[in-house]
Amino acid sequence: MALRGGEFLIKDARPNEIFIPEDFNEEQRMMADSATEFIDKEVMPERERFEKKDYAWTEELMKKLGEMGFLGIGVPDQYGGLGMDFNTTMLICDRISGISGSLSTAYGAHTGIGTLPILLYGNEEQKMKYLPKLATGEWMGCYCLTEPGAGSDANSGKTTAKLTEDGKDYVINGQKMWISNAGFADLFIVFARIEDDKNITAFIVEKGTEGLQLNEEEEKMGIKSSSTRQVFFNDVKVPVSHMLSDRENGFKIAMNALNVGRIKLSVACMDSARRVTSLSVQYANERHQFGQPIAQFGAIKSKLAEMASKAYASESLTYRAGQDIEDNINRLLAEGASPQESKLKGVEEYAIECAIAKVHGSETIDFITDEGVQIYGGMGFSADAPMDAAYRDARIARIYEGTNEINRMLTVGMILKKALKGELDLMTPAMEVANELMSIPSFDTPDYSDLLAAEIEVLAKLKKSILMVAGKAVETLGTEIENEQQIIMNIADMIIETYAVESSILRTLKLAEKDGPEKVKGQAAMTQLYTYHAIDKVASAGREAIGSFAEGDDRQLLMMGLKRFTKPMNLNIRDTRRKIADMLIDENKYCFSI
């Protein structure tokens, strides 16, 4: 049975209990290959058009994706879609994203936050009316939540909806900004407040409705051909039948749509991460300096290895969480829940992992594109090379779907909330760790002959370090911890790195069980390299947290405990990096994906 959301902190999963990308079946891989072929043939040869703000081309590509069925991949067949499972929608989102942030954003906004609110919260009449059009690309969708004064605090929006005297319509007034797909959208999911309601309400507004106006396209750092506009509502009249779900349910709709959007954003970074790594390898093989390809220099090999290991970890944790969501949906269905409720609760259970994936995926693609620019050198700074656009497009990923700072705080906040509700027993293992701190550590020399045995031991200690720091922080600060954002973000960093380590270990071990240890030497090396760095990151974040809330003997004890739990690995990092890089260089690409 899969672990519940957040349980990875206190329970250990086995390799056969998690999903890895290599588990996708032949049908799923064929669909992925079809999406990749579309990107390679239709998009990559003309990707410079994105930099020329060719919004019409983005819309044209979206229409083609609709004709191929890719816009309705997760929409049930009775509404004109393909009705595929959650992790298959992840896989297609991954492959369609390619190296273009413009198309990736348009696709994600339409299939995610543009379609999901109706799929998850619409009544039957609304679903029958709108989903077939959205699934086929006949209509394009967008999501109007953010306002000039309401970004991360989504429920503070000032847009209003007032019921007419005859009770037949709502009149919406207000302003929304940073609305992806607004320029070619036919359907707008709009959030507004009715009277003095505590929470916002969601409405469906169609293009062409009187009073609906769009500002000019925004000038942006990247994603140049992703349509991004302000949307104004000036006495926009919508029928009461266009209210989505119940009054004041808008905030819940927004948050649940964003849970899906977060993990989908992570997976949307994956193909770009692989492609940028492959381009960097190819350039390094082709570029000669001092009489040899720069790929043969240790500094370049180091970069390539780090890029690959981060991509591998991010891919591992994202698809692991995606299948956990799908399994939970199926469990709820088997227990008699409706398809709508199953999808809602299925995702909500793993909101923690969705937030983790968003942070990790977005920061992975930022790191990889930055290193890609560096490997290209002067050409990396040239608009004629692919790194320029990839670098700028990647930067937005840390901002939308909730900034990474917000997602870090959500990660810890949701874990603590689960603990308070009794859904996650953090106290018992935290007390066990506290007792362990008072005991004499073992000085036995462990046997690390098994594959990744040392890394498995490291993982167990990293979890203990989180329980130790978080447990003492809650004990010391009580409810005030909610206001200590720096400490919360320190703890979040510890959690994120640990989840990434565990996901990488489990994926590699599962592959080894399937193919044999000799076939996973590269994956094992990437897991070792990632774990090596994660120890330092967890230690650094832990020290910052402890230094911020503990004093005197408590601080000294906690620091000693952290040192015990974050001892450096006995790893030849130079040779490990070389092993990974040499495989990439020999294959002339990122060679660890399905």
Q: What are the φ and ψ backbone dihedral angles of 30, each rounded to 5 degrees? A: -65, -40
pLDDT tens by residue, 427-486: 899 889 988 888 776 666 666 668 999 999 999 999 999 999 999 999 999 999 999 999
Average pLDDT of the residues in 168-184: 97
pLDDT class of 1 with cuts at 50, 70, 90: low
Highest mean pLDDT among 97-101, 241-245, 417-421: 241-245
The answer to whether 355 and 263 are in contact (CB under 8 A) is no
Average pLDDT of the residues in 182-191: 97
pLDDT tens by residue, 481-513: 999 999 999 999 999 999 999 999 999 999 999
pLDDT class of 255 with cuts at 50, 70, 90: confident
Residue 57, pLDDT score: 96
Rg over CA atoms, the chain: 24
* pLDDT(403) > 80: yes
Beta strand 169-180 pairing with 160-163: antiparallel
How many percent of the chain have pLDDT more than 90? Answer: 91
Average pLDDT of the residues in 301-323: 98
Residue 264, pLDDT score: 95
pLDDT class of 99 with cuts at 50, 70, 90: confident
Which residues fall within 8 angstroms of residue 331, CB to CB, at 6 or more apart? Answer: 346
| Annotated active-site residue in 315, 371, 401, 502 | 401
The whole-angstrom separation of Cα 49 and Cα 55 is: 9
The answer to whether 326 and 346 are in contact (CB under 8 A) is yes
Helix then strand then coil, % of the chain, to nearest 5: 65, 10, 25
Residue 153, pLDDT score: 83
The whole-angstrom separation of Cα 402 and Cα 65 is: 27
Burial label, 216 (beta-carbon count in 10 A; 0-12, 13-18, 19+):
exposed
* pLDDT(401) > 70: yes
pLDDT tens by residue, 109-162: 999 999 999 999 999 999 999 999 999 999 999 999 999 988 778 888 999 999
pLDDT tens by residue, 9-25: 999 999 999 999 999 99
The answer to whether 335 and 309 are in contact (CB under 8 A) is no
pLDDT tens by residue, 577-594: 999 999 999 999 999 998
Helix axes 250-268, 351-376, angle to 10 degrees: 40
Active site residue 48: no
Residue 381, pLDDT score: 96
| Secondary structure, 3-state, 35-95 | HHHHHHHHHHHHCHHHHCCCHHHHHHHHHHHHHCCHHHCCCCHHHCCCCCCHHHHHHHHHH
pLDDT class of 248 with cuts at 50, 70, 90: very high
Q: Using a CB cutoff of 8 Å and minimum separation of 24, what contacts does 211-215 make?
A: 211/172, 211/235, 211/236, 211/237, 212/188, 212/236, 214/182, 214/183
Q: How far is CA 114 from the centre of its chain?
A: 17
Around Cβ 291, how many Cβ atoms within 10 Å? 6
Which residue is listed with tokens 């450096």?
568
Q: Walk me through the domains of the chain, giving residue ranges and CATH numbers.
A: 141-251 (2.40.110.10), 422-587 (1.20.140.10)
pLDDT class of 329 with cuts at 50, 70, 90: very high
Average pLDDT of the residues in 195-218: 97
* pLDDT(328) > 80: yes
Which residue is listed with tokens 């001092």?
290
User: E strands, 102-253, where?
Assistant: 141-144, 160-163, 169-180, 187-194, 201-206, 212-214, 228-239, 243-244
Residue 444, pLDDT score: 65
Around Cβ 284, how many Cβ atoms within 10 Å? 23
